[in-house]
Structure 1
């Protein structure tokens, strides 16, 4: 469905509201300058956004005499949307009870975003090095949801790592045969595709050592369904943080969302973690079908080899991708997952 064209009057109202917002923001900038100018440091310095609160952000000094200290800051009206993980140029306030000022944002290496309730892409975190997709025996993992995260990671250029949490449940024999078969099947499938797969448990220190090495000296984001144990893992990896842990609903066995804003934490051995809000579904509506296909690495050798340039990889004759599935070069489950994602784009 094509977007409805706005009338001239509707566009005028939208522009008027935006102008009024910009005017109010500029007035606030001027009031801040007049009331806090004396308390602000003379020279701007580099800072790291560690949390976001509407028009305010929390910034950590990464150099200078204030290195390591954090302060809430007002964001100037001309600075584009900031997210946790952004590096900024800012001026601290010598009074820790007053606000500092963010004057500009530095270039980003990467940007992780997800759609909001209206389908508009909303940035979550910047400068992320790796995306740790956490799954667990409970709530039951779904390959299609995993594939959505992997496609998003491939599209943004962020390295994905599949993390199987609550591994102690596998060893305790409390899972059904079907649950064990599902987890082992996922392990085999994604390892065969070349994705890095790690196991973890907040209750087994030994199995967490490999995870700790993976997190060292990198900026990481944990994503996945609520209830898979992200907060419990973070509480172990970052003693003293004590994130609120949500229990599984007895009725639905789905997790309750507990994290409300993205925050950045430092690991004692180096590296940072951005804890993002839980996401039960991950829409890829901002991508075209061709981009979705590129997000499946095993598809790439066959893309562009179909008889017809506009091949939809369904009933089209001469489809190289369908032939690859028939010959066992591409898993039928992944091919079905691709079509499920593409179909959801138009629903």
Structure 2
């Protein structure tokens, strides 16, 4: 009997819901939060609304493609982890072949759509992100090294590059700084989650840092990367005003203090709620990029440096 014939009967709504779940919508939301501020800063104001809409649509398609292909490759891991056990392929609600085709089609459509509505460089960056996420992170790094999320997290940094290039057709240093903010923010954010689901990752054979290192060593790295993230946000001061700098500094102190508290509790052997830090780190990134968006529209650059 084929795998397809073994799938339970489902309504059209359930089928659509399963394919949407493959794209990991909640992950995409976070990526889009960083795209719009990058576009606003690149335009030093509000770009055409149609350009914003097209960039977000194309970015959503690209992210959905990467996530669907990730689900296809990681189906074996997802099926043994409690955190991911409800995903469509882990539940055998979608044939693997269909998921693969779906992911590839989304990637092709994202490239064509971004090329037609924005520019070629943004479309190329989108495809490069998909390929990096699947072939570098998912297939190579994730199962082989505890440094997986450090370098693999680069895929999550690309929306700011795509957003910037869709407005300007180029990549300038402020876009690279925003890339750096997300790059250094990703490890502490992800390690906090991995500490909560340490046994899940160990059972799946994924060497996330909390699996191969002590909790104290992990939280020490969280503190280090948190401070680097905060410093990186302040590098945008020359092209922003007091509005962004104040928000970045205050929220950065809050973020760093939270990281220190987490490390302190672990060092004293106390019980930690790492998910609290995980959710708080989401809020921190939102504050930074929302502050950047507001500043780009209403603020004036401190030094007025050209991009």
TM-score (norm 1): 0.24
Between structure 1 and structure 2, the one with the greater Rg is 1
Structure with greater proportional strand content = 1
Of the two structures, which has the highest relative contact order with CA contacts closer than 8 Å and spacing of 6 or more?
A: 2
TM-score (norm 2): 0.26
